[in-house]
Amino acid sequence: MNPDLTLQTFEIASVVWRESFEALLVVGILLTWSVRAVPAARARATRWIFAGAGAGLVLALTLALVMSKAADVLEGDGEDILQMVIAAFATALMLRMVFWMRAMERGQTGDLAIQAVRHVEAGNWLGLSVLAALAVAREGAETVVFLYGLTASSQGWQAGFVLAAGLFGFVLAAISFWAFRTGSKLISRTVLARVSEALLLILGSGLTMLVVDKAISLGLVSPMTGPLWDSSRLLDDGSGFGAFLAGLVGYRARPELFPLLSLGFYWLIASLAYAPPLTGKAPA
């Protein structure tokens, strides 16, 4: 498999795995706590939750169709600008997800289970379904945005290839979900969280450089300097493993100042997710 195909497969599978796993977790939480709240309503709750999940998936597919049609209509700089904006949005989403995951580990987020229990106990089946729909639609929409941003830097994408790589990512998500739910020693929850965060940050780094490259090519920003060094003899970013790293994390063999500053700013923001939380207490 050539480097470009390897990179594309890895990126698509990683995004689909991450988003599908989170969607499965949400549906699993809703099912579990709905049944615990009212065991006699198991079948009814299940039907409403799966109906909501299906509606959320339809919403995500609709977004994919709209974005595809928009890309077909635009030409030249218009398409490049759309790709740049979507890639920037995808990068921001990836950073937000890392911060959200870190907050989850610290117990700083709301409890989805409480909302499910409230809806079931009140007999609000539509509310339970909407909860599932919004959760799945959010994950699906993020998947669409991420994949569009990733594919913006590549040529020759084929629907069959994207589908195969996406299916592989979904199978990995299903296995991860099974191991997570059953308490299998196959996958540690801590390791799973760290791998997920690392993938998001790595993909976001590559997207950051994609946004910068497009902004420079469109004349929106200046590279500020010429190449600061040339490491192409050691690792060329145009072929082999160097090309893989270039697409994945934004490696450049002949970097200019503005792209370097942009990449450094991205990782500075990312590092804040791992900073100790503020206690809010004034020093004595």
H helices present in the chain, as ranges: 3-37, 42-73, 77-105, 112-121, 125-151, 159-182, 189-217, 240-249, 257-271
Bigger pLDDT: 89 vs 112: 89
Of 33-37, 204-208, 210-214, 247-251, the range with the lowest mean pLDDT is 33-37
Beta carbons of 150 and 14 less than 8 angstroms apart? no
* Calpha distance 258→243 (Å, rounded): 20
Query: Is 75 within a domain?
Result: yes
* Calpha distance 36→15 (Å, rounded): 32
Query: Is 263 within a domain?
Result: yes
Domains held by the chain: number: 1
Query: pLDDT band at 284, cuts 50/70/90?
Result: very low
Query: Is 108 within a domain?
Result: yes
Place of tokens 């870190």: 102
State which amino acid sits at residue 258: F
Bigger pLDDT: 271 vs 141: 271
What average pLDDT does range 213-220 have in this prediction?
A: 91
Based on its alpha-carbon atoms, the radius of gyration of the chain, rounded to whole angstroms, reads 21
What average pLDDT does range 25-50 have in this prediction?
A: 82
Q: How many other CB atoms are there within 10 angstroms of residue 16's CB atom?
A: 23
Bigger pLDDT: 29 vs 220: 220
Of 87-91, 177-181, 230-234, 277-281, the range with the lowest mean pLDDT is 277-281
Q: How many other CB atoms are there within 10 angstroms of residue 158's CB atom?
A: 8
* Calpha distance 123→117 (Å, rounded): 10
Instruction: Please say if the pLDDT value at position 273 is more than 80.
Output: yes
Q: Terminal CA-to-CA distance of the chain, rounded, Å?
A: 61
Query: Is 214 within a domain?
Result: yes
Query: Is 250 within a domain?
Result: yes
* Structure confidence at residue 263 (pLDDT): 94
Bigger pLDDT: 229 vs 194: 229
Query: Is 54 within a domain?
Result: yes
Instruction: Please say if the pLDDT value at position 171 is more than 80.
Output: yes
Bigger pLDDT: 148 vs 112: 148
- C-alpha 228: how far from chain center: 32
What is residue 127's DSSP assignment? H
- Cβ-proximal residues to 154 (8 Å cutoff; 6+ apart), any chain: 4, 8, 247
* Calpha distance 221→258 (Å, rounded): 9
* Structure confidence at residue 109 (pLDDT): 47
- Buried b / exposed e over 122-146, threshold 16 CB at 10 Å, is eeebebbbbbbbebbbbbbbbbbbb
Query: Is 103 within a domain?
Result: yes
Bigger pLDDT: 25 vs 280: 25
Query: Is 211 within a domain?
Result: yes
Stated pTM of the model: 0.74
- C-alpha 68: how far from chain center: 19
Per-residue model confidence as pLDDT tens digits over 38-92: 787 788 888 998 999 999 889 888 888 887 777 677 766 777 888 888 888 888 9
CA torsion 96-101-103-105 (nearest 10°) is -170
27: domain range?
3-154+166-274
